[in-house]
Structure 1
Amino acid sequence: MKTVEEAARAKVNLALHVTGRRADGYHTLDSLVVFADHGDLVTARPAEALNFNVTGPRSEGVPTDKSNLVLRAATLFDNVAAEITLDKHLPAASGIGGGSADAAATLRALQRLTGQTLPKPEAILGLGADVPVCLVGRPVRMEGIGERLSPVPRLPPLPAVLVNPGVGVSTPAVFAALESRENPAMEAVPSGLRRPGDLAGWLKTQRNDLEPPAMALQPRIATVLAALRQIDGCLIARMSGSGATCFAIFPDAVTASSAATQLRASHPDWWTADCTFA
């Protein structure tokens, strides 16, 4: 029996600028997006009907009805009959595109399993603003409401740590708390960034405009960022997306692994993962 697997890698916004608000209420963004070599896994195999189940260490509380983006993505295909399993490792609703990455992995898996073409771009965007970029799965500049994706110069592999303090942050509430919705766009990503320190230096001149309102709503984000910045070797620490997951970039994998070990010891209640962004 044919079985296909697709990784649903964590999406990380290294910079995220809010540049405006459209008449329909959607905010326009300008973001540099990369992906971690850590995430969920979607498996699909032929079946008599569409079935969906969730396993893994972060499976508790994950819905298995049509509110889950995996099933919504599956129904975009014609008469799909498959057993889909989501092995959940990423925290839900945490600013690293977990649900969107799962949906994108489902689209790729069902395309391979059924031989059907991918749904139309507007249908994919309808699943969520992060689904198109997760479907691409490589570093890009994301603009508009997620529909405009453009290549960026080659980036160095980035040893990093992801940390989520186990608190939820409402994305609509974060956007509602923005002091300004008309902010300067992100600068063009320069060429020749060969080391993690080179990219971190440039990132310090950019922003995540959602970080201040998210910290005001959930102060534990500030606690995480302070803990990351105090670790030896931390090149930059910032929140991803609308939170509450934060990241720190380090000069090498050994330093990143050591940082993750320290954080797990000092904050065992936090979700912590050492990984590489690419």
Structure 2
Amino acid sequence: MNIDLSGKTALVSGSTAGIGKAIASGLAASGARVAINGRSKSRVETAMAEIAKAVPGAQLIAAPGDVSTAEGVAEVLAALPKADILVNNTGIFEPSGFFDISDDDWRRFFEVNVLSGVRLSRAYMPGMLATNWGRIVFISSESGLHIPPEMIHYGVSKTAQLAVSRGLAELTAGTGVTVNSVLPGPTRSDGVEDFLQSMAAGAGQSVDDFAAGFVRQLRPTSLLQRFATVEEVANMVVYASSPQASATNGAALRVEGGIVRTIA
């Protein structure tokens, strides 16, 4: 399958590192013009330089702004008024006991993980409907289906993303616009890699051995039995963003290594 996104413009929120950066690289390698987003201009510029080095000829746009705020989204829209592809990737997570999660923490997770995608979709989706072509992808998580007891607020925010995604898909009936979610499982993104290296050193293990044990202990139903790479997640997103995915709409696409033990 040759995915050609030439002539398409994409925005990937939170694309200065990790899964978002891998998605941006994958879209750029497929010919899309990609807007790189992060909270600071310096991080956006650094990520753009790294992607340009990895993907010769990449067409990149700087779109800095904190998309967890209305003001930040306005900054992004000023840099990129229209988009054919929107990947709502911005997200945060942190382990915390339920009884220690404050109202402010709940609001912060909702603003970053849910409302960022709501605001961006509200801004870009009307243009997609007007041109009768577009792709919106929410980066949710298997934690949206299996709420992790060590971070319930994160799981709830990821479930909310699934609901928003499916609701928006209902608005696309009969058009060339699709809205889907992608559900990664444990993935070796930059932040997770730092955590694994620190924990592995403390346990006197290699990073790979510690990571495998981590998955077996906390995600015992995993069929993959390891962390996914950011590129493995990005590959699904690039497909969902492509013309070839025209019949995939309103779906929750799993890249979680078989953790969720259901057949549908």
- Tell me whether the two structures share a fold, i.e. TM-score over 0.5: no
Structure with higher helix content: 2
Structure 2 length as normaliser, TM-score? 0.27
- Specify which structure has the bigger relative contact order, considering alpha-carbon pairs within 8 angstroms and separated by 6 or more residues: 1
